[in-house]
A and B are shown apart, each in its own frame.
Chain A
Amino acid sequence: DTGVSQNPRHKITKRGQNVTFRCDPISEHNRLYWYRQTLGQGPEFLTYFQNEAQLEKSRLLSDRFSAERPKGSFSTLEIQRTEQGDSAMYLCASSPPSLAGVDTDTQYFGPGTRLTVL
C-alpha cells in the first residue's frame, strides 16, 4: 500500500506565474486535505475535500488559490499570479472514510511540495 504522493517535490517560479501541484491520496481514502507550512511554523489548514466535494476553505485561501478533486481521486492545487509570500511547503493529507473500527480522523501526509517564488 503506497502512501500519499505529491508532485512536484520542488517548484521554483517567478513572481506572477501560475503553478499547479498534484496530490495522490492513499487509495480508498475519501477525505483529502491541503495545508501550508512556512518556515518555523506548524502546518495551517487550507482546504478539505470529501470525495469530489470541496466542503471547507480557509480564509488563507485567497482568490488566487483554487483546488479541485475531480472524480474524488487525485487533487490539484493551483496558485495564480504567485507572490513571494506564497513561498512555503504545501502539504497534502488523506484519511479513510467513517467505518466501524476505522480512525477516520487520523491524517496521513505526503512529502509536500516546496514552492519558492523569486
Chain B
Amino acid sequence: AQKVTQAQTEISVVEKEDVTLDCVYETRDTTYYLFWYKQPPSGELVFLIRRNSFDEQNEISGRYSWNFQKSTSSFNFTITASQVVDSAVYFCALSETTSGTYKYIFGTGTRLKVLA
C-alpha cells in the first residue's frame, strides 16, 4: 500500500532559525512523484516542489531546500533562516502512477509556527 508519513505534527521555531520537515513514504511503484505543498491559514494548497523517483539530486530554491533519499524513502524539506510568513501547514504528497490517474496520497501535515 502507498503511504506518506509526516511524524512531526507541529514545530515551533524562532525567526531566523533553520527548520527541517520530515517526510517518509512507502510505495511499490518504481516510477513515482513526490511533492511538497504549503497550506497557509487561507486554506489554499500552494505547490512548492515536484521530484520524480529517478532524480535524487537535492534542490535549493532561495531559502528552501529539499533532500531526496531513495535508500531511506525520505523527502525532507528544510527552510533556512525561517520567517514569520513561513508559518503554515506543510504537506508532503506521493503521486501514484500505476493507474494513470496520478492521484495524490498526502501525509497528515506538519504545522510550522515561526515566532518573531
Instruction: Report A's interface with B, CB cutoff 8 A.
Output: 31, 33, 35, 40-45, 48, 55-56, 89, 91, 93, 95, 103-112, 114
Contacts and interface: CB of A to CB of B under 8 A. Distances in A.
Interface of B: 4, 33, 35, 37, 42-47, 50, 91, 93, 95, 97, 99, 101-109
Most chain-B Cβ atoms within 10 A of its Cβ — which of A35, A42, A108?
A42
A61 B109 CA distance: 23
Given A91-B45, A103-B50, A111-B44, A43 B104 contact: yes
Contacts of B33: 105
20 contacts: A31-B102, A33-B104, A40-B109, A41-B108, A42-B91, A42-B106, A42-B109, A43-B91, A43-B104, A104-B102, A105-B50, A106-B50, A107-B47, A107-B104, A109-B37, A109-B45, A109-B47, A111-B43, A111-B44, A112-B44
A88 B10 CA distance: 21
A6 B50 CA distance: 24
Please provide the 4 A-B residue pairs with the shortest distance between their CB atoms, ordered closest to farther: A42-B106, A109-B45, A105-B102, A111-B44
B44 A43 contact: no
A40 B111 CA distance: 9
Contact of B43 (A40, A41, A103, A112): A112
A56 B47 contact: no
A114 B108 CA distance: 18
A113 to B, nearest CB: 10
Contacts of A48: 101, 103
Contact of A43 (B45, B95, B97, B99): B45
Given A91-B45, A106-B47, A106-B50, 9 more contacts: A35-B104, A42-B4, A43-B45, A48-B101, A95-B102, A105-B50, A107-B47, A109-B37, A111-B44
B108 A42 contact: yes
Contacts of B104: 33, 35, 43, 45, 107
